[in-house]
Amino acid sequence: MAVPIAVLDCDLLLYGRGHRTLDRFKLEDVTDEYLVSTYGFPRQFICYLVDLLGATLSRPTQRSRAISPETQILAALGFYTSGSFQTRMGDAIGISQASMSRCVANVTEALVERASQFIHFPKDEATVQTLKEDFYGLAGMPGVLGVVDCTHVAIKAPNAEDLSYVNRKGLHSLNCLMVCDSRGVLLSAETHWPGSLADCTVLEQAALTSQFETELHKDGWLLGDSSFLLRTWLMTPLHIPETPAEYRYNMAHSATHNVIERTFRTLRSRFRCLDGSKGTLQYSPEKSSHIILACCVLHNISLQHGLDVWSAPATGHMEQVEEEYEQMESVDSEACRVRQELLLTHFS
């Protein structure tokens, strides 16, 4: 008689069932240097995440003894910052490969649940004014509330029939629309758009557009590159500058907009699961989108804790799926008027 073969969880074999927490790894047993080199972050930051996510990660489970929030967070950080489920990572904290995968999923969802807490535009007038002043200090561009751009993150092919995630280079990707402030803090992050969509199409359909057209368009604008259409709340470069004022405007625009490119490089440098060096994200588009958003949340939290890596040298292979775009020309007469007034008032 055939005997059915069950796939057993390694932790279940080793430890049995129950709700008690397994303390496989203790932060106090290792140095800060080890934590940074292995998990990408120092002890104080990891302890903050344990306090922030601990209640969520302690939800009861019937599968095996519960893995402590601390261990789950270390497992997830190890994946985010290294880009791979390495056996030595699981061995270092005493969990199986299957448990590593579950930890990443649990921590990712816990961070996504808190995305609006850490990624948002300022609402009070004093903070908005400070935001504008900080941008103005970069290159003299007034009224800036944020810089916006898209970046592609490579993912595995969802299935043979779904071509919506195939970008212009024939690779499967998610096209992620993000806005940041002058320090690189993310103010908006939409990470779920299929790679086949052009940047201007993503923006047209994005929640960001609804926000600015209904709520946030008050004496200020975003800066976007020429892949976007000029709008009253989105200033783009002039396609062919002719006057000194237009050249000055374009130079100030470029110097200010460069902040988002530096932010993308920071994200890829800190979270190697996004940079392509370990291959594509081996998840469905939805799960991949959540992983990207979780990294965005961690990026903002790290900046709140003073962990700025802009000055740190990039290491290893840094591959990014770049998309070519056509120069977009606006047919919005009111948007053209707003830009022309900006040129005359501040750059003439």
Integer Rg of the chain from CA: 23
Are 42 and 88 in the same domain?
yes
How many separate domains does the chain show? 2
Are 160 and 272 in the same domain?
yes
Contact predicate 103/303, CB 8 Å:
no
In a domain, 183, yes or no: yes
In a domain, 241, yes or no: yes
In a domain, 315, yes or no: no
Are 149 and 84 in the same domain?
no
For residue 96, give its domain range.
27-57+67-115
In tens, the pLDDT along 103-161 reads: 999 999 999 999 999 999 998 999 999 999 999 999 999 999 999 999 999 999 887 67
Are 42 and 187 in the same domain?
no
In tens, the pLDDT along 316-326 reads: 343 444 445 55
Supply 86's token pair: 């390495």
Are 32 and 123 in the same domain?
no
- H or E element that contains 190: strand 186-194
Residues of the chain with pLDDT under 50: 1-22, 62, 311-323
Are 128 and 191 in the same domain?
yes
In a domain, 242, yes or no: yes
Residue type, 170: G
In a domain, 19, yes or no: no
Which residues make Cβ contacts (< 8 Å) with residue 247, sequence separation at least 6? Answer: 241
Nearest residue to 173 (alpha-carbon basis) of 200, 191, 199, 155: 155
Q: What is the pLDDT of residue 328?
A: 60
The helix/strand/coil state of 148 is: strand
In a domain, 172, yes or no: yes
Are 46 and 86 in the same domain?
yes
Contact predicate 156/172, CB 8 Å:
yes
Cα separation, 91 vs 73, whole angstroms? 15
pTM over 0.85: yes
